[in-house]
Structure 1
Amino acid sequence: MTASMDIEKATASAWFRQLRDDIVAAFEELEDNHATGPLSDAAPGRFDVSETKRASEDGSDAGGGLMSVMRGGRVFEKVGVNISTVYGTLGERAQNAMAARKGIPGMKDDPRFWASGISLVAHMQNPHAPAVHMNTRMFWTPHAWWFGGGSDLNPCIEYDEDTAHFHATQKSHLDPHGPGHYPRLKEWADEYFYIPHRNRARGVGGIFMDDYCSDDWQGDFALTQDIGRAFLPAFLPLVEKRRAQDWSDADKDAQLVHRGLYAEYNLVYDRGTKFGLETGHDANAVLMSLPPMAKWV
């Protein structure tokens, strides 16, 4: 592996930006088309977009990104679609964590890194519409490169047919890369999105991979792209089906309690949250995943 992958880095970063643009446009179209049911008489939501910066220890340019958040929409109560491309050197804590988890030699001698990706979390107005998480990313050091990402569904009120559609769509996008990918990434998601102190899963699963490198950059990037491409066809039909459904106070209460579970996972276990805070990225962007309101019993 060479130390320089400038073309590949630029290609990945540009694609994450395009995926972000496609998702933002699709979500604003959902807001525009919500003509019947709860909150249909409200103004359609729009994303507020702001630049983010990574804080480097020496004040040098360390990259950043775009934070796009919609709050109080007709369909989305809060949704964030963030992209970033950050670089510089890893601090000692992040170096040690990276070396321990990935077995990368030489991190202390050359702690440079580059990372780019997209991260999305949607919390819905209607309790019957599922919350969802998606991210894809590329990470590089002088010693290794890898991809990661996936998407998982987090309904507070579960519908078997919704879960089946979400998983079937992901499988259809992964199968062209080999029949073993979907079952492996599904199992990976089941293991990763598990909350030990609650002895339960965060949601109904999905797909997930981390530290993925087969030494074929083009093939691994194509797999990562199809993880991203699967998201809208897996998620949008579920929102279309549930967004106009009536809900009760009990339904909303169940949603707030489930959001508390989601917040616990993201603050205690999520690797992306920990990495973002440890490497100096904008805290508001890192914590974008937290719900606007939650409840604990």
Structure 2
Amino acid sequence: MDMSDERRAAAEWFRSLRDTIVAAFEGLEEEAISDSPPGRFTVTPTERAEDGGGGIMSVMRGGRVFEKVGVNWSEVHGTLAPRAQSAMAARGVPGIADDPRFWASGISLVAHMQNPHVPAVHMNTRMFWTPSAWWFGGGADLNPCLEYPEDTAHFHGTLRAACTPHGTDYYDRFKAWADEYFFIPHRGRARGVGGIFYDDLNSGDWQADFAFTRAVGEAFLPAFVPLVRRRMVQEWEPEHRDAQLIHRGLYAEYNLVYDRGTKFGLETGHNADAVLMSLPPLAKWV
């Protein structure tokens, strides 16, 4: 099961989505009214410490709108480390216990905002391949420190519209999965207001599953950008900033303790700075 053409198509699409989002975010920086210059992404090629592949790490710091945002693309291949191999075998990935070779590509995005009224956000989509299996995964979730119900409704409504043409139950299934996955057990609370999350998606129809994954990625900007434009002009007070920093502490705890992508990236030798770009620039614990 080589699937080299399919893998190439997926990797190229993930990279094109990365390019589109980077351009849109730099456009928001231009829109914002400020005496400071608009933020720009610093782009750094990345390589895996072992085996093969790498990616592009794109990070903006200290912008008018984005305090820190990373939009990373990767395409990697090689042999899974024993811990990652065991974890995938426990998830029921066929053949992985006997043959640990893999290939993966995807885009990963986390944005931490200057204005506390603008929600932080996460999105990723990916394809994973082994000699005996393939699947897609991804999702997006909104992480406001100051929740506005209309923003939550818009974000979820856009994701629902993206999911429904591909499966009438997809939104409900993947929303429930996100509610479970983006939960911080030691705090007894969700890290945000949810979204959708899916993994191990293999319906047997690669084209259909790839089309759904593209729909999730393409829904991200319509789901998020209107919220940025609506909130980035709001005045904020020191107590709003304090709430933002405390919420970022929760976000950091989740990503370091529970996030599956963080664990996989570090265990497979990918560039640590790229893996950990999701961490906020400043956070607070009380």
Q: Which residue matches 1:21?
A: 19
- How far apart, CA to CA, are the structure 2 residues paired with 1:28 and 1:200? 33
Q: Which residue matches 2:54?
A: 64
Please, which of 89, 105, 111 is the counterpart of residue 79 of structure 2?
Answer: 89
- How far apart, CA to CA, are the structure 1 residues paired with 2:37 and 2:232? 15
- How far apart, CA to CA, are the structure 1 residues paired with 2:211 and 2:181? 23
Please, which of 5, 8, 12 is the counterpart of residue 6 of structure 2?
Answer: 8
Once the two structures are TM-superposed, the CA of residue 270 in structure 1 deviates from its matched residue by 0.2
- How far apart, CA to CA, are the structure 1 residues paired with 2:156 and 2:83? 36
Letter of the structure 2 residue corresponding to residue 166 of structure 1: F
* 1:117-139 deviation per Cα after TM superposition (whole angstroms, max 9, x unaligned): 00000000000000000000000
Please, which of 175, 178, 202 is the counterpart of residue 164 of structure 2?
Answer: 175
- How far apart, CA to CA, are the structure 1 residues paired with 2:280 and 2:81? 29
Please, which of 44, 49, 58 is the counterpart of residue 50 of structure 1?
Answer: 44
The yes-or-no answer on 1:74 pairing with 2:64 is yes
SS of the residue 1:230 aligns to: helix
Asked if 1 retains the 8 angstrom alpha-carbon contact of 2:94 and 2:133, the reply is: no
Would you say how many aligned residue pairs link Structure 1 and Structure 2? Answer: 286
Once the two structures are TM-superposed, the CA of residue 105 in structure 1 deviates from its matched residue by 4.0
Report sequence identity in percent.
72
* 1:240-295 deviation per Cα after TM superposition (whole angstroms, max 9, x unaligned): 00001111000000000000000000000000000000000000000000000000
Letter of the structure 1 residue corresponding to residue 73 of structure 2: I
Asked if 1 retains the 8 angstrom alpha-carbon contact of 2:39 and 2:60, the reply is: yes
Once the two structures are TM-superposed, the CA of residue 41 in structure 1 deviates from its matched residue by 1.4
Q: Which residue matches 1:230?
A: 219
- How far apart, CA to CA, are the structure 1 residues paired with 2:105 and 2:257? 23
Once the two structures are TM-superposed, the CA of residue 104 in structure 1 deviates from its matched residue by 2.6
Q: Which residue matches 2:149?
A: 160
The yes-or-no answer on 1:120 pairing with 2:114 is no
The yes-or-no answer on 1:217 pairing with 2:206 is yes
Q: Which residue matches 2:191?
A: 202
Once the two structures are TM-superposed, the CA of residue 107 in structure 1 deviates from its matched residue by 2.3
Please, which of 192, 196, 204 is the counterpart of residue 181 of structure 2?
Answer: 192
Once the two structures are TM-superposed, the CA of residue 94 in structure 1 deviates from its matched residue by 1.1
Once the two structures are TM-superposed, the CA of residue 173 in structure 1 deviates from its matched residue by 1.0
Structure 1 stretches (4+) deviating beyond 2 angstroms? Answer: 104-109
Q: In structure 2, list runs of 5 or more residues that go unmatched.
A: none
- How far apart, CA to CA, are the structure 1 residues paired with 2:74 and 2:89? 23
The yes-or-no answer on 1:110 pairing with 2:99 is yes
- How far apart, CA to CA, are the structure 1 residues paired with 2:206 and 2:96? 22
Letter of the structure 2 residue corresponding to residue 11 of structure 1: A
Q: Which residue matches 1:293?
A: 282
Q: Which residue matches 1:141?
A: 130
TM-score between both structures, scaled by the size of structure 1: 0.95
Once the two structures are TM-superposed, the CA of residue 174 in structure 1 deviates from its matched residue by 1.1
Letter of the structure 1 residue corresponding to residue 72 of structure 2: N
- How far apart, CA to CA, are the structure 1 residues paired with 2:163 and 2:259? 24
* Residue 156 to residue 12, structure 1, CA distance change in 2 (3 Å): same
Once the two structures are TM-superposed, the CA of residue 221 in structure 1 deviates from its matched residue by 0.3
Once the two structures are TM-superposed, the CA of residue 55 in structure 1 deviates from its matched residue by 1.2
The yes-or-no answer on 1:260 pairing with 2:249 is yes
Q: Which residue matches 1:100?
A: 90
TM-score between both structures, scaled by the size of structure 2: 0.99
Letter of the structure 2 residue corresponding to residue 44 of structure 1: P
Letter of the structure 1 residue corresponding to residue 75 of structure 2: T
* 1:104-159 deviation per Cα after TM superposition (whole angstroms, max 9, x unaligned): 34324311000000000000000000000000000000121000000000000000
Once the two structures are TM-superposed, the CA of residue 23 in structure 1 deviates from its matched residue by 0.2
- How far apart, CA to CA, are the structure 2 residues paired with 1:254 and 1:179? 37
Please, which of 201, 210, 232 is the counterpart of residue 243 of structure 1?
Answer: 232
Q: In structure 1, list runs of 5 or more residues that go unmatched.
A: none
Letter of the structure 2 residue corresponding to residue 202 of structure 1: R
Deviating more after overlay: 45-54 vs 170-179: 170-179
